[in-house]
Amino acid sequence: MSVEKKMKIAVTGGAGFIGSHVVDAYVEAGHDVTVIDNLSTGLKKNVNSKATFVKMDIGSSKLRELFEKEQFDIVNHHAAQANVRVSVEEPDFDATVNILGSINVFESAHKTGVKKLIMASTGGAIYGEQKYFPADERHPKRPSCPYGVAKLAAEKYLSYYRVTHGMEYVVLRYTNVYGPRQNPKGEAGVVAIFAEALRKGKQPVINGDGFQTRDYVYVGDVARANVMALESDLTGSFNCCTGVETSVNTIFTVLNVRTGSKAEEEHGPAMVGEQQRSVCSYKKLNKATGWEPEVVLDDGLTQTLASYAKK
Ligand SMILES: NC(=O)c1ccc[n+]([C@@H]2O[C@H](COP(=O)([O-])OP(=O)(O)OC[C@H]3O[C@@H](n4cnc5c(N)ncnc54)[C@H](O)[C@@H]3O)[C@@H](O)[C@H]2O)c1
């Protein structure tokens, strides 16, 4: 892939699971990429060798100096406290990173003339328990956890920066992203958690009855959406998802077979406040850019397992 115009892009959270794939796609497209990450959950080894790495917290007062020095064209904001459970236990910490940290990124971008800000948001937690299926972008926003509240707040700040200061933005609301480099120690990634356990002959525990559904989107498809988000006329909030609803029990069964594990389904208590069904529509993004998911779950799980086997 090559680009008409080489851009200078900062990717916050570019050492993390999704951010590192976005960095790879931007480097591959010929852009000049700087990763800003405090390595709290990300890993230095995830960072593309052709990108510049800066270890920094997005809440740091030094962020503005860095933006002034580098004069980025585009900022892609993936750094976040991305764990729903942590947000429930420590809502103040969640808000410090996901609201105040984001404002520091947006303000630094606005003050240094950044043309567009692209941000990772959530198509699960932002809508809450859905009124209809699949949820489009107009679905009521009723987040039931501090993480969803913070993402919604950050989206509204971006709207303020556009209305008042003319800084364009694209928000991509991901559903459940899975794929290589997802941290099995995290709480969000049921694919990574189950795959890691089953490969090692351990027994994964399914929260509740396992009939809760999610919309699983492959990380390569998400990275491609971030490349499309660079297009100058794309602006606003877009779901980035598959529209396909899959239960946690199905994920368990497929991974159980694929890993050759003979584990039985084991269920633990349901997580308090866990969403029952979550599935979104990508029609708006498709209409604006032609984006659609290319990797079906079966193939994505194969690629994910293959990447773990290589480790
Ligand atoms: N994984 C999903 O299914 C999913 C779904 C919807 C939205 N998202 C969003 O996508 C983004 C990336 O999520 P992920 O799953 O790759 O998580 P991740 O934890 O792998 O990535 C987050 C990255 O941000 C860095 N970071 C965290 N706090 C920071 C701070 N204060 N300053 C600088 N860097 C910091 C971490 O070190 C890590 O590299 C997040 O914004 C998340 O909310 C993820």
Q: Which residues contact 4 (CB under 8 A, 6 or more apart)?
A: none
pLDDT band at 311 (very low <50, low <70, confident <90, very high): low
Structure-token match 């009521």, residue found: 140
Answer with the residue of higher pLDDT: 185 or 287: 287
Report the distance separating Cα 159 and Cα 237, nearest Å. 10
Cα 82 to ligand 1 centre (Å): 5
Per-residue pLDDT of 234-286, as tens digits, reads 999 999 999 999 999 999 999 999 999 999 999 999 987 788 999 999 999 99
Is residue 231 predicted with pLDDT exceeding 90?
no
Query: Which domains are assigned to the chain?
Result: 8-175+219-240+280-293 (3.40.50.720)
From 11, 12, 18, mutation site for ligand 1 pocket: most ligand atoms within 8 A of C-beta: 18
Tokens of 310: 């290589």
Cα radius of gyration rounded to whole Å, the chain? 19
**Contact of 161 with 110, CB cutoff 8 Å:** yes
Q: What is the structure's pLDDT at 239?
A: 98
Per-residue pLDDT of 33-60, as tens digits, reads 999 999 999 999 999 999 999 999 999 9
Per-residue pLDDT of 60-73, as tens digits, reads 999 999 999 999 99
pLDDT band at 185 (very low <50, low <70, confident <90, very high): confident
Strand partners, 168: 116
Mean pLDDT of all residues in 142-166: 97
Which residues sit with their C-beta closer than 6 Å to ligand 1? 13, 15-19, 37-42, 57-59, 78-82, 97, 101, 120, 122, 174, 176-177, 183, 188
Report the distance separating Cα 173 and Cα 268, nearest Å. 29
Residues designated catalytic: 147
Report the distance separating Cα 195 and Cα 204, nearest Å. 9
**Contact of 284 with 243, CB cutoff 8 Å:** no
Is residue 133 predicted with pLDDT exceeding 80?
yes
